[in-house]
Amino acid sequence: MTKEELLEQNVKLEIDNHSFLNKEQYLRKEFAKAFNWYDIYRDKYTQAENKAIQTPSWEEIFVEVGKLLSKQSTLKIRDGLEKAELSINSLFQLINDLQNN
């Protein structure tokens, strides 16, 4: 390869890298919006409260997704237990009704 070809390829790779980084940062900001992660700060002149979206790390995002999956699993277990409890209660009621007749 010639020097010009290498420079041309380097420019293409830099453009691709910049594009990738922009997409990656966009995804992280979209996760931040979904999790309602904002930095709240006061304007020093007007004292108005402003919000700015955070750019979390992938580790922070994965931790939050893990927490959500854990909560989902817990809710499914609770739902199953409540259904089982209702079934047991209806069986006891049926047994009581049969004994009383």
pLDDT (tens digit, 9 = 90+) per residue, 65-98?
999 999 999 999 999 999 999 999 999 899 988 8
Query: Which pTM value belongs to this model?
Result: 0.61
| Confidence category of residue 20, pLDDT binned at 50, 70, 90 | very high
Which of 24, 21, 16 has the alpha carbon at shortest distance from 8?
16
Contact 54, 70 (CB under 8 A): no
Residue 27 scores a pLDDT above 90: yes
Q: Where are the domains of the chain?
A: 1-56, 57-101
| Alpha carbon distance 62, 18 (integer Å) | 24
Write the CA distances from 97 to 83, 85, 93, integer angstroms.
Answer: 21, 18, 6
Give the C-alpha separation, 101 to 91, whole Å.
16
- Cα-trace Rg, the chain: 28
Over residues 46-67, the pLDDT tens digits come to 777 888 889 999 999 999 999 9
pLDDT (mean) for 7-14: 94
pLDDT at residue 12 greater than cutoff 90 = yes
- Do 29 and 61 meet the contact criterion of CB atoms below 8 Å apart? no
* Residue given tokens 């006061």 in the structure block: 42
